[in-house]
Structure 1
Amino acid sequence: MGKYIVRRLLQMIPVVLGATFLIYAMVFALPGDPTAGKCGERECSEAYKAAFYEKYNLNDPLPIQYGKYMANVVQGDLGENQYGNDVAGELGDRYLVTGKLALMALLWEGVIGIAAGALAGIRKGGFMDSLVLVSTLFLISIPVFVTGVVSQFFLGVKWGVASVTVSADATVYELLLPSFVLGSLSMAYIARLTRTNLAENLRADYVRTAKAKGLTPQRTVGLHALRNSLIPVVTFMGYDFGALLGGAIVTEGIFNIQGVGGYIFRGVNNRDGVAVVGAVTVLVVAYLLVNLLVDLLYGLLDPRISHD
């Protein structure tokens, strides 16, 4: 196990370098004047441009720019954005909020999605199966911003059972509705994925053997069939966690959440390359670590999978 983890961590190094270099190149190699809009409607002075280019190493070739940037990243320095604020400090606060939001969305997905899919898979062809299929299709067909606005109006404004906006503290109560909206689409996919895999595993030979040995239906389904059915679900949830961290722009905008999604969006609009690259660098590392955790969970779900 230890050797496997070390090997995977070493494999992450070229992935992080490759991904961050592509992002860095796409941000800083864009055509046009990088100082455009930095001085309002008027054009920036030559002295300001020279200082700007010197500060962000824009006079150097792209590989050298990237090398200097990564040398600072290794030391924990993600640079300063165009407003002179420390990117690492800003991201620290915003990733705590977005991370909490993503974890709560993942919890909604796991609890409701797996439970609904398991009930539908066990009672395939029945009323519960039809209800899950129709409700999940309904969620999949509605865009997230529609779900967010409608939920905000009815649950927050009209009925007052949830928070309409999220404060700077981002409490668990305030994030309940945004996290549900954020995870609603993936919840539907997880329910369908669990249903399909469980229904297939219930027809497998090892399930019939377990029943023939006298195992109770609860033990047969819970310990054997459902456990094996969760491997693709865990894979999807590991991928989805990274997508939730970086793709919460719409949800954060609807509920006024000061998170990473809006930070990246504003950085792209303002051509704030240091802010964008810093946020994406942290996102890439977090995504790789979560996928490592998912791979380790495979061994717990299926003992036949070994990481020796």
Structure 2
Amino acid sequence: MGKYIVRRLLQMIPVIIGTTFIIYAMVFALPGDPTAGKCGERQCPESFVAEYREKYNLDDPLPIQYAKYMGQVVQGDFGTNQYGVEVREDLAKRFAVTGRLALMAIAVEIVIGISAGILAGIRKGRFVDNLVLVSTLVVISIPIFVIGAVLQYFLGVRLGLFPVTVSSEATTYELLLPAIVLGSLSVAYVARLTRTNLVENLRADYVRTAISKGLSKRRAVGLHALRNSMIPVITFIGFDFGALLGGAIVTEGIFNIQGVGGYIYRGIQVRDGVAVVGAVTALVIIYLFVNLIVDLLYGVLDPRISHD
């Protein structure tokens, strides 16, 4: 397994370089004056423009700019944004909030989604199965901003069960409702994916053989069918964690959460390239490591999968 981990880490290097270069090029190769709007409505002085271009290496060719930037990133320096604040400090605060929000959303989709999928799978064709299929279809059909606004109004404003917005402290209780909203779409997909794979594995020969040899149906489902059914579910959850980290812009906007999604959105609005590239680079690295963990979990769920 050690060789496999080393090999995967080496494979991450060209992926990180390729993805970050594309993002860097998309941000810093955009047409227009990068200092536009930095001095309000009036045009920036030439001295400010020259200092700005020198600070961000804008006079160098794009590959040289990127090489200098990545040299700083390797040393742990993600640069400073246009307000003079280190991007690393901003990301540390915002990742702490968005990371907790994403983990809570993952917990919601694991507990509710997998449980609903198992109930639907072992009761295929019955009321519970039809209820799960219909309810998940309804959730998938509704945009996330509608779900967020509806739950915020009824559970927050009308019933007062949850705070309407999240304070700067971002406590676990304040993040619970946003986590439910953020994970609602994934809950539907996890439930359907679990149900489909469990139904397929329950019809497999190895499950029928195990039951015919005296193994109880509960153990046959839990020990054999369910473990094999979890492999595609774990794959989806691993992919979804990265998507939740970077795609929480709508939910963070609805509940006024100071997270990474809003940070990237505002960076794009004001053309703060260093902030955008730094945040996306951190997301790429986190996403790759999460996928490595998911691949290692395959061997735990299915001993036939070897990482030697």
Structure 1 runs of 4+ with >6 Å offset: none
Partner of 2:117: 117
Letter in 1 for 2:242: G
Partner of 2:194: 194
Map 1:151-300 onto structure 2 (within 5 A).
151-300=151-300
Distance 1:81 1:276 in 2: 9
Identity %: 75
Matched, 1:10 2:10: yes
Partner of 1:52: 52
Map 1:14-33 onto structure 2 (within 5 A).
14-33=14-33
Shift of 1:301: 0.5
Q: TM-score, normalised by structure 1?
A: 0.99
Please state whether the residue corresponding to 1:76 is helix, strand or coil. coil
Matched, 1:94 2:73: no
- 1:253-273: per-residue Cα shift (whole Å, max 9, x none)? 000100000000000011000
Distance 1:199 1:109 in 2: 20
Distance 1:246 1:256 in 2: 16
Shift of 1:163: 1.7
Distance 1:186 1:236 in 2: 9
Shift of 1:170: 1.2
Shift of 1:232: 0.3
- 1:58-95: per-residue Cα shift (whole Å, max 9, x none)? 00000000010011101110000011111000000000
Distance 1:5 1:173 in 2: 37
- 1:31-70: per-residue Cα shift (whole Å, max 9, x none)? 0000001011111111110000000000000000001001
- 1:112-160: per-residue Cα shift (whole Å, max 9, x none)? 0000001001111000000000100010000000000100011011101
Partner of 2:37: 37
Distance 1:171 1:2 in 2: 38
Please state whether the residue corresponding to 2:162 is helix, strand or coil. coil
Distance 1:41 1:216 in 2: 75
Size of the aligned set, in residue pairs, is 308
Distance 1:199 1:289 in 2: 31
Q: TM-score, normalised by structure 2?
A: 0.99
Please state whether the residue corresponding to 2:258 is helix, strand or coil. coil
Structure 1 portions without partners, runs of 5+: none
Please state whether the residue corresponding to 2:163 is helix, strand or coil. coil
